[in-house]
Amino acid sequence: MDLQDLPKISPSCLMPIATDSLKGADDGDHQPRILVLYGSLRSVSYARKSAEQGARILRTPGCDVRMFDPLGLTFSGIDGVEPHLEVLELCDLAVRSEDMVCSSPERHGAMLGMMTLQIDWLSLDMGGVRPTQGKTLALMQVFDGLQSCKAVIQMRILGRQMRMVTIPNQSSIPKAFLEGDSDGRLSDAALYRWIIDVMEQLVTFTWLVRGRFAYLVDRYSERIETDAEALLRVVKL
């Protein structure tokens, strides 16, 4: 465990990850593979800074964390437009990951369009592989006002539609522009500690869920459907 990049964390207070007691029978016995998405392209983006904070925390117990840079993403659903390299990278990362962290600014009481755009490219089915179903999701938001959870509420709805296991904890940072220190990181206060809470719970849910993946994705409506019927349904879509 490397805490050199987390000077504000007290190691003795971190929750021990008792993986052996949490693992399911079908666990792959590797470190959690986590994809971190953020919904802002600003040069000074507090959604990105929060996501980076979360990534650093997740790497502490050894998680395999990848962050996706949304710069260069094109709009989805445009006829004749081929997916760019950024889209292919996002899809590959989503298929590879076991968990996701979404961090978005809140504007006009909603998540930012850049956050939605990344989700729009993640089809529920990619060549017979579902990139999100049965995986774990953690949510964070930042905003200029005093108190709100509208963006994370929206993202919870998206998580449900993507058939993900969204953890109970979430992070909402008001007046995010006042929370940074001289290094551009969150100060050691309650809001930073809540991000640690979220990341710890995400790791715990990862161990709980991934070794029991088959139970979460197994559905009667698919078991009763023949291969020919499934192919016909996909073609029609």
pLDDT tens digits, 12-41: 778 777 678 888 888 888 889 999 999 988
Q: How far apart are the first and last CA of the chain?
A: 46
Q: In terms of pLDDT, which residue wins out, 213 or 70?
A: 70
pLDDT tens digits, 163-201: 999 999 999 888 766 666 656 676 667 788 889 999 999
The pTM assigned to this predicted structure is 0.84
Q: What is the pLDDT of residue 12?
A: 75
Q: What's the Cα-to-Cα distance from 159 to each of 118, 127, 144, 163, 231, rounded to whole Å?
A: 13, 21, 24, 6, 26
Is the sign of the CA dihedral 16, 172, 131, 214 positive or negative? positive
Q: In terms of pLDDT, which residue wins out, 17 or 43?
A: 43
pLDDT tens digits, 88-127: 899 999 999 999 999 999 988 889 999 999 998 887 666 6
Q: Domains of the chain by range and CATH? A: 24-236 (3.40.50.360)
Q: What's the Cα-to-Cα distance from 33 to each of 59, 65, 101, 231, rounded to whole Å?
A: 10, 6, 11, 30
Surface-to-core class of residue 105, CB atoms within 10 Å of its CB (0-12 exposed, 13-18 middle, 19+ buried) = buried
Q: What is the pLDDT of residue 38?
A: 95
SS3 at position 194 = helix
Residue pair 153/141 in contact by the 8 Å Cβ criterion: no
The rounded mean pLDDT for the chain is: 83
Q: What is the pLDDT of residue 204?
A: 92
Measured at the CA of 93, the angle between CA 124 and CA 153, to 5 degrees, comes to: 55
